[in-house]
Amino acid sequence: MFALLPIVLLPVILFPLGAGFDTHLHEATLSLIAQHGVVHPITPYYIGYYVLVILIHSITFIPIVIVHRLLVPVGMAVVLGWVCSLNRTRANAWMIPFVFLLFPIAWATEATPQRFAFVWLILIIFLIASRTPTILVTIAIIATLSIHPITGIPLLGMLIYHTVIGKHSVWIQSMFIAIWILILPMIFIALNATALGTQWTFPSLIPMIQIPQQYNPIFDTLFALVWNKWIVIALMIVIHLRLNPQHARSRLGQHAWGTLIGASLTTAVSGYLVAIIPSFQNVIAYETPDFSHRLYTMSGLFLLPLVIPSAMFVQEHIRTHLTPITQLILATMSLSIIGATIYTFYPIVAEGYRVDKGYTISGSDIEAVQWINNHAPQEAYVVLSNQAVSAAAVKQFGFKHYHRPPGQEPMFYYPIPTGGALYPKYLHYVYTSPSRETIQQAALLSNTNTVFVVINRYWKNSFSLIQTSRRIADAQYSTRDGMVWVFRFNHALQSL
């Protein structure tokens, strides 16, 4: 517990204004619920998460923002501590936190319902592995379903298979597994009917060894270690099964062992089928793979109760059978992988390696959105900005403005990076056409006459964008440190 807690708490300390975007949306939603008792529109998503945060806040009087940001990292550390206690009699139980770091757990550094549901998933699979009574496992799965359905639905399928279907004929088991695999992809298709009319793509089925080629020796090595950790996990399971197959299965029991393997495989196949879906409603193209990646993450986490005893077995075998030089080489390689994993947990600028640019809210972003709020017209307006600035606006003002153009869905007045019509206009402005024509298109989307554009100095072509915007804008503002520029365009709906 104490080994992992500093790692997952570090972003909370390093980024006091918060990192990411979704966490600020949930923070604003929680504040609305605390003030008014309800938020509209009412949806079945995230209810369990919101109820728990509000309940802890109401009982302890700890501010919502602190409860929200600490729930995932502290919850993860508590679950890890409990897992370590299950193995406290083992001499090499100290390895368990390091085994966790071989898995995709970077999500534990940021607070969202999906990430909290992952914490519950880890809790539940170890409840099953430790032969906990079914009623307690059922309650935990229902709680997870209320926190986030993407995690709860596969867990519900696993419970039904483990307690009921697994005792029936192979034919019944096969039918259930097919339903278990297809249910999430079918739900996604039902919610995104427009995807049926577009061209579908089929990713490779074969796990590939990924070798970065960005001509940056340090980052190429770093991400090669992180992206190919699955090889280490697979090798440990194979070695354990090869050298002592009875021990590998007896640690969990044959039925639980088969259930977790089946849950991992079915969730991975579901993830692949979701990856085939070409688009999702109100989700920008580069965010679309996130849904399948969540299922791949879950698929890996299902293997934790299998990998931990395998890692312990392999470590003991290395200690007793290999030479000191070989042990030193393997230990160095292991520490390199763990170090690279920890480094990539946090927001970093790594262009060419991942979509996330590593940008977070700064004091300059907050100063910029406050200036816009104080100098905006009384009538409606929209803002074209990047993710960090939009997050700063949500943090400062919540869900202050929505535009409701006739015949269209409500539109938030700042761009939502995960979807919506404004963010593509911002991208078009900064990458293609920083012009009043682009401003007019944004104004037409929302039927507003005033448009603000925010340019951060860290943006790749910011110098050129700032100079162009200064020539065509009606007003401008620079934050005190000069890191953020705001441009105001009046009469944006008028013909040019």
pLDDT tens-place string over residues 273-312? 888 876 665 555 556 677 888 999 999 999 998 888 888 8
267 near 164, Cβ under 8 Å? no
DSSP state of 87: T
Q: What is the per-residue pLDDT across 77-117, written as a single tens digit (0 to 9) for each?
A: 889 888 888 877 777 778 888 888 888 777 777 788 999 99
User: 441's torsion region: left (phi>0), alpha (psi -120 to 50) or beta?
Assistant: alpha
pLDDT-derived band at 495, boundaries 50, 70, 90: very low
Residue 16, preceding peptide bond in cis (omega within 30° of 0): no
Domain ranges of the chain: 5-213+252-300, 363-489
Over the chain, what is the mean pLDDT? 83
> pTM for the complete prediction?
0.85
pLDDT-derived band at 198, boundaries 50, 70, 90: low
Which residues, listed in sequence order, are joined to residue 451 by a DSSP beta bridge? 382, 489
The Cα–Cα gap between 316 and 91 comes to 9
CA atoms within 13 A on the CB side of 19: 22
Most confident of 193-197, 209-213, 333-337, 458-462: 333-337
10 near 346, Cβ under 8 Å? yes
473 near 420, Cβ under 8 Å? no
**Phi then psi for 304, rounded to 5 degrees?**
-55, -45
Residue 157 pLDDT > 60: yes
- In this structure, how many other beta carbons lie within 10 angstroms of the beta carbon of residue 406? 5
CB-count exposure of residue 493 (10 Å: 0-12, 13-18, 19+): middle
Mean pLDDT of 462-482: 90
Nearest to 351 by CA among 477, 233, 216, 457: 216
Which residues, listed in sequence order, are joined to residue 455 by a DSSP beta bridge? 485
pLDDT of residue 241: 81
Mean pLDDT of 442-469: 88
pLDDT-derived band at 452, boundaries 50, 70, 90: very high
Mean pLDDT of 304-321: 88
pLDDT of residue 93: 79
The Cα–Cα gap between 222 and 59 comes to 44
pLDDT of residue 247: 62
pLDDT of residue 232: 87
Residue 1 pLDDT > 60: no
Structure tokens at 329: 């080489």
**Alpha-carbon distance values, 183 to 148, 155, 167, 300 (Å):** 15, 12, 22, 19
Most confident of 11-15, 36-40, 348-352, 443-447: 443-447
DSSP state of 224: H
Higher-scoring residue by pLDDT: 310, 25? 310
Which long-range contacts link 455-461 to residues 24+ away (Cβ below 8 Å)? 455/430, 455/484, 455/485, 455/487, 456/359, 456/364, 456/365, 456/386, 456/388, 456/389, 456/483, 456/484, 457/482, 457/483, 457/484, 457/485, 458/359, 458/483, 459/386, 459/430, 461/430
Q: What is the per-residue pLDDT across 412-449, written as a single tens digit (0 to 9) for each?
A: 888 876 667 788 889 899 988 888 899 988 888 888 88
Residue 248 pLDDT > 70: no
pLDDT of residue 355: 62
Instruction: Name the helix (H) or strand (E) containing 172.
Output: helix 170-191
Instruction: Indicate the SS3 state at residue 241.
Output: helix
